[in-house]
């Protein structure tokens, strides 16, 4: 009880930089959107666009995990299994260990989501490359389902952690602030890096929108020789499919 009261009285400091926060919510948006459009042929371009966006986000997070701010770096929160088990035991015993950044159990969720995100986008790209074997499509769906399950576990962990520490962890991912002492705060939020990342994502989406098929089914701009595995290839295939339908009529 004394530890909880201490944590409750602790000041809120800047822990999560802007790139980490923007990455987090863009991943939420992209995975949710990709999952909801996975069975829709009409929204297939949206599904592919969000999937490729996820691939770029995962790549960015790996780089940021190596050279980002203090609590974004993997070295600051990735610990051995014993540390994760100890943390979980503390939560169960209502004596949780407070961590300014990710806790040791949450670290495994972060690594798992990054690994599954990479696997989902890789298998999706291979499926989009051409005549992929059926097992590859099933692997894509299996990895996506596993990622959804891990997201559910992650959300549950956030709820439990928020209750155990009496700290709103969801709000912290918006504001960037958590409980801690002033000397534990990061010095800069790196807003410029986050703005560049957001501009890159929005620019990619805008490019895709301009090259998307029109309402009549004809693409706005289709490369004459789109490379396999690109969205242009999907657009070319869509145009060919529409042309075939016209010939049948």
Question: What's the rounded mean pLDDT across residues 18-46?
Answer: 96
Q: Supply the pLDDT for residue 186.
A: 97
Q: Supply the pLDDT for residue 128.
A: 84
CA angle, 11 then 68 then 18, to 5°: 55
Distance (Å, rounded) from C-alpha 127 to C-alpha 240?
18
Question: What's the rounded mean pLDDT across residues 206-222?
Answer: 63
Q: Supply the pLDDT for residue 129.
A: 79
This prediction has a pTM of 0.82
Q: How confident is the model at residue 88 (pLDDT cuts 50, 70, 90)?
A: very high
Residue 229 has pLDDT above 50, yes or no: no
Residue 224 has pLDDT above 80, yes or no: no
Burial category of 137 from C-beta neighbours within 10 Å (exposed 0-12, middle 13-18, buried 19 and up): middle
8-25 pLDDT, tens digit each = 457 899 999 999 999 999
Answer whether 163's CB lies under 8 Å from 143's CB.
no
CB atoms within 10 A of CB 109: 20
Q: Out of 122-126, 184-188, 219-223, which region has the weakest mean confidence (pLDDT)?
A: 219-223
Answer whether 136's CB lies under 8 Å from 119's CB.
no
Average pLDDT over all residues of the chain: 86
136-172 pLDDT, tens digit each = 999 999 999 999 999 999 999 999 999 999 999 999 9
Question: What's the rounded mean pLDDT across residues 191-217?
Answer: 86
């Amino acid at each position: 009880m004394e530890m909880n009261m201490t944590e409750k009285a602790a000041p809120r400091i800047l822990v999560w930089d802007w790139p980490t926060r923007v990455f987090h919510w863009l991943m939420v948006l992209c995975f949710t959107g990709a999952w909801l459009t996975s069975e829709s042929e009409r929204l297939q371009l949206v599904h592919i666009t969000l999937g490729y966006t996820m691939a770029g986000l995962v790549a960015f997070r790996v780089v940021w995990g190596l050279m980002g701010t203090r609590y974004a770096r993997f070295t600051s929160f990735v610990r051995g299994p014993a540390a994760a088990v100890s943390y979980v035991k503390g939560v169960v015993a209502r004596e949780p260990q407070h961590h300014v950044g990710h806790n040791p159990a949450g670290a495994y969720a972060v690594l798992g989501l990054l690994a599954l995100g990479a696997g989902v986008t890789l298998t999706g790209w291979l499926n989009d490359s051409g005549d992929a074997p059926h097992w590859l499509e099933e692997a894509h769906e299996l990895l996506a389902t596993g990622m959804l399950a891990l997201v559910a576990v992650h959300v549950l962990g956030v709820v439990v952690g928020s209750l155990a520490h009496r700290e709103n962890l969801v709000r912290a991912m918006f504001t960037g602030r958590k409980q801690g002492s002033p000397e534990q705060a990061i010095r800069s939020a790196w807003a410029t890096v986050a703005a560049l990342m957001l501009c890159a994502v929005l620019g990619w989406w805008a490019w895709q929108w301009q090259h998307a098929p029109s309402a009549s089914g004809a693409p706005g701009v289709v490369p004459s020789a789109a490379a396999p595995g690109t969205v242009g290839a999907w657009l070319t295939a869509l145009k060919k499919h529409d042309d075939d339908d016209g010939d049948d009529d």
